Amino acid sequence: MPYAHDPVGVLDSGLGGLSVLKALMAELPCERFLYCADCAHTPWGDKSEAFVVERTRAISRFLIDRGAKAVVLACNTATAAAADILRREAAVPVIGIEPAVKPAAAQTRSGVIGVLATRRTTESARYRSLLERFCRGVRVVTVAAPGLMECVERGDLTGPETRRLLEKYLAPILQAGADQLVLGCTHYPFLSGLIAEIAGPGVALLEPGRPVALVTRRRLQDLGLLNAGEPLSPRLTCCVSGAEKHAPILNRMLAGNFTAAEAFAAGEIAELPV
């Protein structure tokens, strides 16, 4: 039975979910967060659906065992493969994240939108259903972008290899005349500076962090699970599989996206069972 003072669990295959965590922390200032990055098993986007389901299930259990009152799947790949299954199994609310094709289709003036996501997301039935429901009459250029998340995991957000991959993946989208670009993987907002530079000012980038934070707030509120009292501490606990290798990068990325004080408070980094 979850309580309002319990932490909110957040998971991703790796560090990409930190882009969502940042929005969650801003929108839910009184909550504690437990973030799990499965860095030892990245990328999920190139793995089988069964593998992604198993990892998402194992990490969700880990979070719930540590007292999470809700689980935010800060990963499009995990949501596409496992959200429905977890919602049936878990005793706490499960909030997922999907490529923002609905707002992109509503906002486009050129009638063309681009979507960058992992292969597992772009090939999922859930993604196909999103397009069928929300993108009638709009041309959608979908590009699976293997290799990009690895750039983010390495902390290489602007280097030549990252630029080469982005130029390659964005070319068909830009050639088609897209004016909306959906970042359909939570790692990609970390590349938004370089993406915006390559895409130019005529292309709007859609990031999902804030909408997911708003949905999470509403779900917690509806269930009476929102912490209405004093801010709880520690504000953030991070758990990462493959900790030795990834802890320094995780700390760097937290420092780049949070205040130094919050990064410092991130403190505890534990091993996930692998």
* Catalytic annotation, residues: 75, 185
State in angstroms the smallest separation of the CB of 70 from ligand DGL: 18
Q: Which stretches of the chain are DSSP H helices?
A: 18-27, 49-65, 76-89, 101-107, 119-122, 125-134, 148-153, 160-175, 192-199, 209-222, 243-257, 260-265
Rounded to a whole number of angstroms, the CA Rg of the chain reads: 18
How many angstroms from the chain centroid is the CA of residue 254? 14
93 binds ligand DGL, rule: CB under 6 A: no
* Three-class SS state of 96: coil
148 residue type, one letter: L
Q: Which of 7, 9, 16, 242 binds ligand DGL (CB under 6 A)?
A: 16
Sketch the per residue contact string, 117 through 156, with ligand DGL: x for CB under 6 A, - otherwise: -x--x---------------------------x-------
Binding segment toward ligand DGL, per CB under 6 A, in 134-142, 179-187, 232-240, 262-270: 179-187
CB-side exposure of 10: number of CA atoms within 13 Å?
30
Question: Rounded to whole angstroms, how far apart are CA atoms 17 and 41?
Answer: 15
185 binds ligand DGL, rule: CB under 6 A: yes
12 binds ligand DGL, rule: CB under 6 A: yes
Whichever of 146 and 231 has its CB closer to ligand DGL, that residue is 146
Measured torsion, CA atoms of residues 130, 44, 75, 177, in degrees rounded to the nearest 10: -50
Q: Which of 71, 75, 144, 195 binds ligand DGL (CB under 6 A)?
A: 75
Binding segment toward ligand DGL, per CB under 6 A, in 8-16, 21-29, 246-254, 265-273: 8-16
55 binds ligand DGL, rule: CB under 6 A: no
Where along the sequence are the contacts to ligand DGL (CB under 6 A)? Answer: 12-14, 16, 42-45, 75-77, 118, 121, 149, 185-187
